[in-house]
Amino acid sequence: MRFIPTKVHAVLDYVVAIALIFAPTIFMFEEVGGAAVIVPRVLGVGLILYSLFTRYELGLVKVIGMPVHLIFDVLASVFLIASPFLFGFADEAPNAWVPHIVVGVAVILVVLCSKSQPGAGVTGSTAPKAHAGTAA
């Protein structure tokens, strides 16, 4: 059931992006270095970039449709979840790899609950618009 409006999803995108960028500092695994630190930071910056180009309430350029944005979210989340195993830092202290898995799973859950079309007020939206003389 998709009940999270795209406006809420947009806010979550920017919050999660900032959290990913600062995760190594917040969870104190900067000293692990390598992919444990680089992956969340790169994905956080990437999330900001494709969010700025998404056709939703907080996008600035509005060229990427919400369905494509949601696919990017899932792909990035799967990579985030797999990264401790792909890059060999799953044997580090839990604070170095558990955040990758928790955030990845949480984002996938948000995607599953997010609406795939923004409201009618978003420029370039494919959502139905109210016509003059009809109740919106």
pLDDT digits (tens, 9 = 90+) for 30-83: 999 999 999 999 999 999 999 999 999 999 999 999 999 999 999 999 999 999
**Domain ranges across the chain:** 6-113
Mean predicted confidence (pLDDT) in 102-127: 87
Query: pLDDT tier at 124 (50, 70, 90 boundaries)?
Result: low
What end-to-end distance do the CA atoms of the chain give, in Å?
23
Q: Indicate the SS3 state at residue 2.
A: coil
**pLDDT tops 80 at residue 136:** no
Cα dihedral 71, 75, 77, 78, rounded to 10, equals 140
Q: At what angle do helices 66-86 and 35-52 cross, to 10 degrees?
A: 180
pLDDT of residue 100: 98
Confidence band, pLDDT 50/70/90 cuts, at residue 121: confident
Q: How many residues does the chain have?
A: 136
Give mean pLDDT, residues 14-20.
98
Q: What are phi and psi of 64, to 5 degrees?
A: -100, 125
Per the CB < 8 A criterion, the answer to whether 41 and 54 are in contact is no
